[in-house]
Structure 1
Amino acid sequence: MKKNYCNILRLTLLFCIGFVFQLQAQTEKSLLWKISGNGLEKDSYVFGTIHMICPDQFLMNEEIKGAFTGTEQLVLELDMDDPELQQKMQAVSINSGMKNIQGEMKEEQSKALDQFLTQNYGAGLAQMGILKPFVLTSMVLMKQLPCDQMESYEFFFTQMAQQQGKEILGLEDVAFQVGIFDQIPLNIQLEELGKMVTTDESMKEFQTTVEAYVAQDLDKLYQTISDNPMTGNFSEILLDQRNENWIPVMKKQMEEKSTFFAVGSGHLAGQKGVLNLLKEAGYTLSPVN
């Protein structure tokens, strides 16, 4: 249970932040993009991930593996092989002052969440309620997936990098990502969490998102996610500011070594997306199909 809990925490931030998309119409259907030009001696790549997916929908082909193998280092949103990552995530997953969110939720949603957690994790809100909403959101989703096991691109690439002896780096740290959620009102986070266990809206949206991801259809991803309240009200802090912060970091990393970047697909497209920002910085972006 401890190992499973740690894996949940590792994916929690990645999923919750990566789940919000702000995409504009794209003509190219590709999750893998080559970065070249602007003085780079070797090509780098950026790949758009989805942080939770069933094994039969896990996209992996020779083009992706070849691009990965041809680079010298892996950069994820978080440094997944940081030996202190587990400890750091556990430390930030608890509400301030061990506050339990059970009394903050609508009664119907609180009861439904308590029942869900008890049935799936063996402990209800009396115990689990001290976890931050984004942690609980991730835990709920993982049990709602239509498969017993799930795949993670972050874990997959981390294992490949370790096998190939490549350095693994992160664009952000855990404390920064948690700080993003601290800027979103608690009532909004709890409302979204409550809907997950009282309606099928979130699961339908996620299933449609997965279908669009597998099709590498950024247009459909935009249509699916654009009405999400988090997108409209908090996209600037969830995506835009972070994308802008990443560009100078990516530039430095690519100049030092050819790099394989793997970040949530929601960060790729749009006027303030990573692809466009890299183009504005002088790089050539080419889809790899």
Structure 2
Amino acid sequence: MKSIFLRKISLILALSFWLVGSATAQESSLLWKISGNGLEKESYLFGTIHIICKSDFLMDERITTAFESTEELILELDMSDPQLQLKMQQVSMNPGMKNIKGEMDESMASELDEFLMSNYGVGLAQLGVLKPFVLSSMVLIKALPCTETESYETFYTSKATDAGKTVVGLETVEFQVGIFDQIPQDLQLLELGKMLAEDYFQTEFQSMMEAYLAEDIRKLDSVMTSSGMMAEYRALLLDERNKSWVPLIADAMKSKSVFVAVGAGHLGGENGVISLLKQAGYSVDPVK
């Protein structure tokens, strides 16, 4: 069970990272062309969801053409790293292997234990040693309204490897997990409890998916950033990371064309990747 879980969890490490910020322009798209500012070749920026129902997987000619025209794939994490699963395992446990079952109220602990037993065959007695964001990811995997899922990161990594493109990660597993370590456990457990609610995937999650598939950044922002962990820790989860990514992306684009695929939450907003690239002098235009 653990090996299966690790293969899946490495794809959705940062569950909250794909949530989107408010757009700064009227135009909206998941795919953006980067040019100008001395670049010899065009590069592209694409907003992903780290795991999605296969029937909703958005991949059309404009996206594949853009990807095929580039020389390097840039992701949040280097998904081609053969040590990625091992690294994830090493940082997924609570300090001292502490079981957090006792940190939850009795009702939530019972509900989560039942969910884990039903879907994974083991309950909180064993899985309670995992950090809250890992448990949230496990709930997401099994609560999606489908049996077949797809990952943009896995898709692009496979295509890049087949085409002989290099794959680069903007961050390490250790860094991403460290971000969650800075967020109070109580708040993370509150988010986990919200995901367990019966109507979450029929209401809030469905609204997010509709906005994503419509490439409507503004609507996605209105659904996701009004409250909760993302609203309170937006700077930590999004803005500060975006600011550290843009110089890395800019440096890579100097010598080659790149395809940057990161959580859609990093695209929009005053401190989003699109805005920051424009501030750095690049032309960033939606590809319709």
Q: Give the TM-score of the pair, scaled to structure 1.
A: 0.96
The alpha-carbon deviation at position 133 of structure 1 amounts to: 0.6
Q: Name the residue aligned to 1:159.
A: 158
CA–CA distance in structure 2, aligned partners of residues 38 and 83 of structure 1: 36
**Aligned pairs for 1:28-177 within 5 A:** 28-177=27-176
Structure 1, 214-223 or 4-13: larger mean CA deviation: 4-13
| Deviation readout 1:110-168 (Å, 9 max, x if unpaired) | 10000000000000000000011111101101111110011110000001001101000
CA–CA distance in structure 1, aligned partners of residues 3 and 161 of structure 2: 19
Change (3 A) 1:262 1:236: same
- Count of matched residue positions in the alignment of Structure 1 and Structure 2: 288
Amino acid at match of 1:12: I
Q: Name the residue aligned to 2:10.
A: 10
8 Å contact from structure 1 (residues 196, 203) kept in 2: no
Runs of 4+ in structure 1 displaced over 4 angstroms?
A: none
CA–CA distance in structure 1, aligned partners of residues 187 and 3 of structure 2: 30
Q: Name the residue aligned to 2:214.
A: 215
Q: Give the CA RMSD over aligned residues.
A: 1.3
| Deviation readout 1:206-234 (Å, 9 max, x if unpaired) | 11101100000111101111223112210
Amino acid at match of 2:192: L
Change (3 A) 1:203 1:142: farther
The alpha-carbon deviation at position 199 of structure 1 amounts to: 4.2
Structure 2 stretches of 5 or more lacking a match?
none
CA–CA distance in structure 2, aligned partners of residues 195 and 219 of structure 1: 23
| Deviation readout 1:235-273 (Å, 9 max, x if unpaired) | 000000000000110111111211000000110011100
Amino acid at match of 2:89: Q
| Deviation readout 1:158-213 (Å, 9 max, x if unpaired) | 01001101000000011110110001000010111122224423652111101100
CA–CA distance in structure 2, aligned partners of residues 102 and 180 of structure 1: 22
8 Å contact from structure 1 (residues 112, 198) kept in 2: no
SS of the residue corresponding to residue 52 of structure 2 reads: coil
8 Å contact from structure 1 (residues 31, 48) kept in 2: yes
SS of the residue corresponding to residue 33 of structure 2 reads: strand
SS of the residue corresponding to residue 12 of structure 1 reads: coil
Q: Name the residue aligned to 1:229.
A: 228
8 Å contact from structure 1 (residues 34, 286) kept in 2: yes
8 Å contact from structure 1 (residues 109, 198) kept in 2: no
Structure 1, 123-132 or 223-232: larger mean CA deviation: 223-232
Structure 1 stretches of 5 or more lacking a match?
none
